[in-house]
């Protein structure tokens, strides 16, 4: 039986926020901060009962940080608001209904709203390649980060026991597809972890045999930081021992190999996909205007065109920057700024002061990325910063954006401990996404899988 959510007071204006990431959580927090009206009822729905600080996710894979360091219970943000730990099934924007299913017992409920905030983020885009989707790890959720960690440690345990040199080399190849922030940050994090772990613990593995390979479809890496800094990042990443294959795409994969667009086969046991994002079908199938990758086209006040009571923001919103004519990228920094504006505009709408609504104007003060052990790149107010200073800036900037004092202390403490102690090599719990059930020498594997050997196929 589908239940209707019972609001305590039907006379209250109901605001429903879908998603508890950077966008949704910050709308909730800003709304509560800016308005203490008791005629408004706010409900946030998320399939995770915590807010995840994604910029530090790669550090969970490397064991630098713990999962609890970068997650905060959404309920801790709810001063007056309600929280529903549930998966959203459908959104009916004509009748103002949202259908949700409780995570614990799968019971379906329908929520009504007066104002809707769509903040459902993005998901990985495999561009229809089902083999890559099946065999690759992703780095989007906390579970992904822990699964990568468990997998790479299991691979080291396996390689330490493997006496066949070819198979050991295959186990020690780690391929990351994607040269953007997420791809470069996860590749550099795991590379340094693997180097340290083998030197400290795995006597039968020569750390020089570890090959971390980034496959980038572009000319270089980190297009977000511009040409000059991108070149610095590429040089530095290569100097640190990571191989970067540019102007190439991953086109297919199996359990023990990746096939590239130039017909090179990389025999490996680890493929991490950070090759692009798209929106969930919940968003892409809404009957309204869509932009890049199905994102929702919003006006300058962050409202859906033709639906003034619906706001969309963060990764699922499509807004063109009027200064550059380019759609705003999917970043946490932009989601946070949009959240502040959406909460102000929502309050203006509820209080009937629509004239005070403000358009979204974003002055990008800079971009930063970490690219290895104590090294980063940053572009701040047009100034290019490299190396240790950029890395320190990255850490300081994101540390100040952690949502609570408790998380700041935990992260600061773990960073400090990592300076003193060796990398930890325990696998965590049972979170496991892939099992390596076969590992064959590359040529045998390729023939068996029907890869055409006559097409100038080469092996890395």
Q: How far apart are CA 122 and CA 142, in angstroms?
A: 15
Chain contacts with ligand FAD (rule: CB under 6 A): 19-24, 45-48, 54-55, 57-58, 87-88, 119-121, 139-140, 181-182, 185, 280, 282, 314-315, 330-333, 335
Minimal CB distance to ligand FAD: which residue? Answer: 21
Q: Are 273 and 138 in contact (CB under 8 A)?
A: yes
3-state helix vs strand vs coil in the chain, percent to 5: 35, 25, 40
For ligand FAD, the closer CB: 21 or 442 = 21
The closest of 313, 308, 366 to 336, measured between CA atoms, is 313
**Among residues 139 and 167, whose Cβ is nearest to ligand FAD?**
139
Long-range contacts of 92-97 (CB under 8 A, 24+ apart): 93/286, 93/287, 93/288, 93/304, 93/307, 93/310, 94/287, 96/309
User: Is residue 282 helix, strand or coil?
Assistant: helix
Tell me whether residue 118 or residue 210 sits nearer to ligand FAD (CB atom). 118
Q: How far is the CB of 125 from ligand FAD (least distance, A)?
A: 12
Q: Quote the least distance from Cβ 289 to ligand FAD, whole Å.
A: 18
Token output for 334: 């932009």
Token reading at 343:
């909460």
The residue among 55, 390, 366, 365 whose CA lies nearest residue 232 is 390
Q: Rounded to the nearest whole angstrom, what is the least distance from the CB of residue 343 to ligand FAD in the complex?
A: 14
Nearer to ligand FAD, 40 or 332 (CB): 332
Nearer to ligand FAD, 168 or 278 (CB): 278
Residue among 19 and 63 whose Cβ is closer to ligand FAD: 19
Cα distance between residue 388 and residue 384, in whole Å? 13
Nearer to ligand FAD, 374 or 438 (CB): 374
Q: Report the residue number, 200 or 396, with the smaller CB distance to ligand FAD.
A: 396
Shortest CB 166 distance to ligand FAD, Å: 32
**Smallest gap from residue 299 Cβ to ligand FAD (A):** 18
| Chain centre to alpha carbon of residue 396 | 20
For residue 324, how far is the Cα from the chain centroid? 25
Task: Find the shortest distance in angstroms from Cβ 58 to ligand FAD.
Answer: 6
Q: How far is the CB of 175 from ligand FAD (least distance, A)?
A: 17
Structure tokens at 333: 């920094």
Q: Which residues pair with 245 in a beta bridge?
A: 215
To the nearest whole angstrom, how small is the minimum distance from the Cβ of residue 119 to ligand FAD? 5
Q: Is 352 exposed, middle or buried (0-12, 13-18, 19+ CB in 10 A)?
A: exposed
């Amino acid at each position: 039986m589908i239940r209707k959510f019972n609001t305590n007071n039907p006379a209250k204006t109901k605001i429903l926020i879908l998603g508890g990431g950077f966008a949704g959580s910050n709308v909730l927090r800003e709304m509560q901060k800016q308005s203490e009206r008791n005629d408004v009822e706010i409900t946030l729905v998320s399939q995770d009962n915590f807010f995840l600080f994604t910029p530090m996710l790669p550090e969970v894979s490397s064991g630098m940080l713990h999962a609890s360091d970068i997650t905060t219970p959404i309920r801790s943000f709810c001063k007056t608001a309600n929280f529903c730990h549930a998966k959203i099934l459908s959104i009916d924007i004509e009748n103002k209904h949202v259908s949700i299913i409780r995570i614990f017992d799968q019971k379906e409920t329908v929520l009504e709203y007066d104002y809707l905030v769509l903040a459902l983020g993005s998901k990985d885009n495999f561009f229809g390649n089902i083999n890559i989707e099946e065999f690759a790890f992703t780095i989007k959720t906390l579970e992904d980060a822990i699964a990568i960690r468990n997998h790479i440690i299991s691979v080291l345990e396996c390689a330490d026991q493997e006496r066949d040199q070819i198979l050991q080399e295959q186990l020690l190849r780690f391929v990351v597809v994607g040269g953007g922030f997420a791809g470069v940050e996860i590749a550099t994090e795991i590379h340094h972890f693997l180097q340290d772990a083998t030197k400290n613990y795995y006597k039968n593995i020569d750390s020089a045999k570890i090959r971390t390979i980034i496959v980038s479809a572009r000319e270089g890496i980190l297009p977000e930081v511009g040409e000059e800094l991108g070149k610095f990042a590429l040089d530095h990443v290569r100097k640190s021992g990571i191989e970067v294959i540019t102007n190439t795409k991953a086109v297919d994969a199996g359990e023990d190999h990746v096939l590239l667009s130039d017909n090179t086969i990389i025999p490996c046991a680890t493929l991490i996909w950070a090759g692009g994002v798209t929106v969930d079908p919940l968003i892409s199938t809404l009957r309204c205007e869509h932009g890049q990758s199905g994102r929702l086209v919003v006006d300058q006040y962050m409202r859906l065109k033709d639906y003034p009571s619906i706001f969309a923001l963060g990764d699922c919103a499509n807004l063109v920057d009027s200064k550059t004519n380019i759609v705003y990228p999917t970043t946490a920094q932009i989601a946070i700024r949009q959240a502040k504006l959406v909460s102000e505009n929502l309050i203006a709408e509820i209080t009937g002061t629509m004239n005070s609504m403000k358009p979204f104007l974003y002055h990008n003060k800079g971009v930063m990325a970490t690219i290895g052990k104590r090294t980063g790149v940053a572009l701040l107010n047009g100034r290019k910063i490299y190396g240790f200073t950029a890395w320190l800036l990255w850490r300081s900037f994101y540390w100040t954006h952690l949502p609570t004092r408790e998380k700041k202390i935990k992260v600061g403490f773990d960073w400090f401990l990592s300076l003193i102690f060796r990398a930890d090599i325990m696998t965590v719990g049972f979170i496991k996404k892939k099992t390596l059930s076969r590992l064959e020498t590359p040529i045998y594997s390729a023939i068996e899988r029907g890869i055409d050997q006559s097409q100038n196929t080469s092996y890395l």
